Amino acid sequence: MLLEILFNMKNYLLLISFTFWCLGATAQTPLWYYNNETLEYDEVVRAYTEMDNLYENAILREFGTTDSGKPLHVFFISSGKLDKEGKVSDWKKDKTVLLINNGIHPGEPCGIDASLVYARNLLEAGAPDNVLIAIIPVYNIGGVLNRGCCSRANQLGPEAYGFRGNARNLDLNRDFIKADALNTRSFYAIFHLLQPHIFIDTHTSNGADYQYTMTLISTQKDKLNPVLADYLQKDLEPALYSSMQDQGWPMIPYVNVFGDVPDKGYAAFLESPRYASGYTALFNTIGFITEAHMLKPYQDRVESTRAFLDIITDYMQGHSQELIDHKTRAQEYDRNLEHLSLQWELDSSKVQEMEFMGYRASYIPSKVTTGDRLKYNRNAPVDISINYYNSYRTTDSVEIPEYYLVSAAWYEVPQLLQYNGIQMRRLKRDTVITVESSYVSSFRFLSSPYEGHFPLLDLAIEKRTQERIFRAGDYIVPTDQENVRFVVSVLEPTAADSYLRWNFYDEIFQQKEHFSAYVFEDTAERLLEADPSLKEKFTEWLEMDPEREKSPYQQLSYIYQQTQAYEKEHLRYPVARILK
């Protein structure tokens, strides 16, 4: 393999690195990214293949496919020998598991390069005993293959890099619930096999300018299981921030500021389940998103990302049992959950003061537009104290039912539940069951596509207890299971990223049968005469809104909807609840 590389001048720097390495070079061996370059896809796979060949405690394995048609790879590192034919479940026994995902946004490739150096250094120096490390070298392969110079208009290097959209132009970091991409479905398999204690997704920032090279999004604490949230805040985060400082990479929470300066303070990023760490939080995996600063030299972005990976690995090695115990306790806690939050808003009454190393900024007249422009003065660093808002309060929550009943007809949903390791069973025969149904009482879809969908934005539901027939083959999903957070977060209709919101049940929004006014007029007259309470209800409804007087058809529709002729399926959410 090395000979092949020798004849490819493009890989000259890669060759140097591996040659040094084979000769026993130290961790300081110069690597390709020092030239402001990120490796191409084939070079990355080749580099990991080389390590797989060289080290008996490293394995590169394929896991499913991606929209690009190429397989998704995972590179495993353990302290002991890994059998090529062995099972991942055996490798992770009694260990904490770290899953690192790179290149979800290929224009932000520092993690791709950092992980290679990190892996090589670990293999050279000896991998930790207590940690199984799994690295996805490149997640968005289609995006990495779509290489160019310029799609990150605000970013300083590298010279060439991939594009954000994947092979079918999806942003994979919005796809963790709807799973349109094959990449996401392959990720499910990896993630559920590993059940990692910690997950890291590597990125490069957009937005404001400041002195820090590394910024961090932690799983937002108020969405996380309280056992883990407490541990994250009291133990894990302080250790990570202080170690990064010690290693010369002072770090700050992700600067969630766009179009303005951070001086006025900012709020923690709220990552709903469509995002990587929002998704992993539903399975009691603490997620971190490293966001290296776009305007810092590429070498520094890679180095600071690598430092973060090293630090977290050391932490996991030193606190392995603690992490295992906390995950177990979190899962026990979830089995007894009675309520779960579905939506949140910033609680601006809870604020913490934070030291911030920024740059002096000012607004000056633009030479391009008719407005003023924001300009940071990088020669004028300022250390200031700013407000940081890291608390979100629940705005919608739900009492968890004993079971959900999921129609088999909308087969995509049970399929996704299965991919996510959800336990469920099927009805053996057609059965009438008393359930709580949800009817959509008002809604609004987004008017243009977002990530291949027209998500439901405004949504209100009305609950009704009713007898419904469920068919043989429909699914019963118990909530007494480890992954209850995921179950509730996708099946509760009003949840931030529910399957209903992501268009899995759009068929219910269309009425299939209608009436002709000239025929129904006589029926309506008879009905109102025969049922004074219906007449009263109709009169009240009419008086509620003067606009209703103007539409005779709308009036007849209202009466039609009170009759048996009106289809039960219209606006009824196919997933039902059986209460505890």
Residues engaged in binding Zn ion (CB under 5 A):
105, 108, 203
User: Please, which residues have CB within 8 angstroms of residue 260's CB and are 6 or more apart in sequence?
Assistant: 208, 374
Q: 290, 115 in Cβ contact below 8 A?
A: no
The minimum distance between CB 568 and Zn ion, in angstroms, equals 45
Nearer to Zn ion, 108 or 334 (CB): 108
CA–CA separation, 485 and 199 (whole Å)? 17
User: CB of residue 289 vs Zn ion: minimum separation in angstroms?
Assistant: 8
Closest approach of Zn ion to the CB of residue 173, in Å:
6
SS (H, E, C) 397-415: EEECCCEEEECCCCCHHHH
Q: Toward Zn ion, which CB reaches closer, 46 or 105?
A: 105
Judged by beta carbon, residue 11 or residue 280, the one nearer Zn ion is 280
> Shortest distance, CB of residue 247 to Zn ion, whole angstroms?
23
Cβ-based nearer residue to Zn ion, 102 or 483:
102
Which is closer to Zn ion, CB of 273 or CB of 401?
273
**Beta carbon nearer to Zn ion, 29 or 102:** 102
Considering the complex, what minimum distance in angstroms separates the CB of residue 108 from Zn ion? 5
**If you write DSSP's letter for every residue of 371-399 in order, what string do you get?**
SEEEEEEEEEEEEEEEEEE--EEEEEEEE
Strand order in the sheet with 425-426: 425-426, 475-478, 403-406, 576-578, 431-445, 456-470
Residue nearer to Zn ion on the CB measure, 139 or 392:
139
Minimum distance between the CB of residue 118 and Zn ion, rounded to whole angstroms?
Answer: 19
Tokens for 553? 């058809």
What does each C-alpha distance from 240 to 27, 109, 288, 356 come to in angstroms?
22, 22, 11, 17
When the beta carbons of 185 and 203 are compared against Zn ion, the nearer one is 203
Answer positive or negative: Cα dihedral of 498, 503, 507, 508: positive
Q: Which is nearer to Zn ion, 67 or 108 (CB)?
A: 108
C-alpha to C-alpha distance for 203 and 104, rounded to whole angstroms: 8
Instruction: Tell me how far, at minimum, the Cβ of 286 lies from Zn ion, in Å.
Output: 19
Contacts of 189 (CB under 8 A, 6+ apart): 63, 64, 419
What separation in angstroms does the CA of 534 have from each of 41, 421, 567, 570? 68, 48, 18, 21
Least distance in angstroms from the C-beta of 203 to Zn ion? 4
Of 288 and 470, which has the nearer Cβ to Zn ion? 288
Q: Smallest distance from the beta carbon of 55 to Zn ion, in angstroms?
A: 30
Half-sphere exposure of residue 488: CA atoms within 13 angstroms, side-chain side = 26
E strands present in 192-280: 198-204, 214-218, 251-253, 266-267
Residue with tokens 């520094």: 300
Give the H/E segment covering residue 238.
helix 237-246
* Residue 294: CB atoms within 10 Å: 21
Distances (CA, A) of 269 to 101, 216, 223, 278, 389: 19, 10, 12, 11, 10
Strand runs labelled E in 407-495: 425-426, 431-445, 456-470, 475-478
38 neighbors 161 (Cβ within 8 angstroms): yes
Residues in the chain: 580
Q: Which is nearer to Zn ion, 108 or 175 (CB)?
A: 108
The nearest distance, CB 450 to Zn ion, in angstroms, is 17
CB of 42 to Zn ion, least distance (A): 23
CA dihedral angle for residue 424, residue 183, residue 308, residue 46, rounded to 10 degrees = 130
In the bound state with Zn ion, the residue whose beta carbon lies nearer, of 59 and 216, is 216
Q: In angstroms, what is the minimal distance from the CB of 171 to Zn ion?
A: 9
